[in-house]
Amino acid sequence: MPVYRMKHAVQFLLIGNLLLGAIFLGGCETMPQGIQQARIEMAQRIAAEPAGDYYIGRRYYKPDYKFWGYIRRSGQPWSTAQLVVLNEKQKLAPDRERLEFGSDNNYEYKLYGSFSGDTVYEPASNGFYSEFVLKGYELISTNPAPIFKSQFRGSASEAELRYTVEKPE
C-alpha cells in the first residue's frame, strides 16, 4: 500500500473513532453533584421503608386530566410506579375530601388499598391507566424529594408542562 493511502486510512480510522466516541459520550449526561446526592438519598429512604401492605403514592395533578398520580409498592423505586386513576367509592382522595382539587400536587402519601385489575380510559390524555381502589391514606410529605426530570432541571415552565405527562425516574 503506498504511503499516501496508508496515511488516509489512518486518518479515516482516527476520524471514525472520534465520531464513535462522540456518539457514545454524547449520550452520557454528567449529573450535577446535588442531583446525584438527592437520588442517592432517595434510594436510601426507599430501601429503609418498612415492609407492609401499603403503597407509596405521589400526587401528580394536571388540571385537564383525570388520573390521580403515581403509585409504587413500598421498597420499590419510582421508576416502577404506575400512573393510576383512583376508585374513590370507599375513600375519597385527600384533595377531594377537602374540596381543594389539586391542592396536594406533588404530595407524597402512604396509600392503603389495592389495584382492582381494571383499566380505565382517560379521554384527555387518550390513555389507559390502572385503577387503584383507595381504602385509606396517610400524608408522608408536602415537600418530598424530586422524582421528575423537570423537578431536577427546573427549566420548563408550568405552561410548557401543562400537557406533558412525565414519568418518574
- 15-66 tens-digit pLDDT: 334 333 333 334 444 555 666 666 677 676 777 677 788 999 999 999 999 9
Question: What's the average model confidence in pLDDT over 68-74?
Answer: 95
**Alpha-helical segments (H) within 27-117:** 33-47, 94-97
What's the pLDDT at 46? 76
Hey, what amino acid is at 53?
A: D
Reported confidence tier of residue 73, pLDDT bands at 50, 70, 90: very high
> CA-CA distance, 62 to 148, in Å (whole number)?
14
C-alpha cell at 37: 446526592
Is the whole model's pTM more than 0.75, yes or no? no
Pairing of the two strands 82-87 and 55-59: unpaired
Hey, what amino acid is at 39?
A: R
Reported confidence tier of residue 164, pLDDT bands at 50, 70, 90: confident
